[in-house]
Structures are given as structure tokens and as C-alpha cells.
Amino acid sequence: MTTAGDIMHRGAQWIPAHETLDRAAQLMRELNVGALPISDENERLCGILTDRDIVVGCVALGHDPAKVTAGEMAHGTPRWIDANADVSEVLHEMQEHQIRRLPVIENKRLVGMISEADLAQHLPEDQIGTWAESVYARTPGRH
């Protein structure tokens, strides 16, 4: 059985909810990632911040990224997967919720992230095709 822990990339880092978006952008650059899980004061997942969120939800609206926090950008119910979950559960979670990145949690701690690139590296082409069709075909606002 292939698990979430087998296909994730390790070394994911939280951005605390109180940190500003300019700091989040700097951390994304340092880590060479396009998304960061957002943690509350108890280091529990409260959302995911993407580079697109910073641009569209802050900069394009004329807001100052030095004054808007990651927590202010956290919307909806955060999705995650247990490190021991089967890869089929990973695909289902991502398809069902139309998400492209999924934090991996083990013993209530962030241990990694699964992205499109991780899926492409570890899954057969037919599974990737089905996943991409379901996630991209129904995603509103994407061109």
C-alpha cells in the first residue's frame, strides 16, 4: 500500500496566522514553494495560503501585505490527510474538495505536503489524468 507519507515532500513549514503576508511571501521564496499551511497559536492547521492568495486577495485589492495577516486570508475548512492514509484517500480528498495541495499530518503535527508534482512523480498516468480532469474541469475562476 502506498501512503500519503510515501508520496509527500517533507520539510513543509507552517506560517503562523499572526504573520504578515510580506513575511509569508519571503518564506515562500526561501523555501521555493507556492503555498504554506497556516497554523493557529496551538500549531493546528487553520488554512493554506498560496502565492495567488497574496496577489489576488491582497495586492490586487490595494491592500498592504505588510499589514494583512495570513490568518485573515484563511477561509473555509482546511483539508489535510493523515500520513498513513492510502494514496486513494489522498486522491479522493483532493478531487472531492478541488484542491491542488494537501498538508500531511502525523501525530497532530505537520510532516509534509502533497502537491500536483508529488502526484505526477508517484502515480500512474491514468490516475493522474483522472485526478487532473476532476480537479481542473470543475474549478471556477481558473483559465
How much is the pTM? 0.81
By DSSP bridging, strand 101-106 and strand 9-10 are unpaired
70 belongs to a structural domain:
yes
93 belongs to a structural domain:
yes
Residue 115 belongs to domain with CATH number: 3.10.580.10
61 belongs to a structural domain:
yes
What confidence category does residue 142 fall into, taking pLDDT thresholds of 50, 70 and 90? very low
14 belongs to a structural domain:
yes
143 belongs to a structural domain:
no
- Condensed to tens digits (0 to 9), the pLDDT of residues 117-141 reads 888 888 777 777 777 777 776 545 4
Domain extent for 119:
4-137
Residue 59 pLDDT: 95
Indicate if the alpha-carbon torsion angle 97, 41, 114, 83 is positive or negative. Answer: negative
- Condensed to tens digits (0 to 9), the pLDDT of residues 41-82 reads 888 899 999 999 999 999 999 999 999 999 999 887 889 999
Average pLDDT over residues 9-21: 92
- Condensed to tens digits (0 to 9), the pLDDT of residues 75-107 reads 878 899 999 999 989 999 998 888 889 999 998
48 belongs to a structural domain:
yes
Could you give the CA distance from residue 36 to residue 48 in angstroms, rounded to a whole number? Answer: 6
**Could you say which DSSP state residue 100 is in?**
S
Enumerate residues 6+ apart whose C-beta is below 8 A from 14.
36, 37, 38, 39, 43, 110
- Over the chain, what is the mean pLDDT? 88
Structure-model confidence comparison of residues 104 and 2, the more confident one: 104
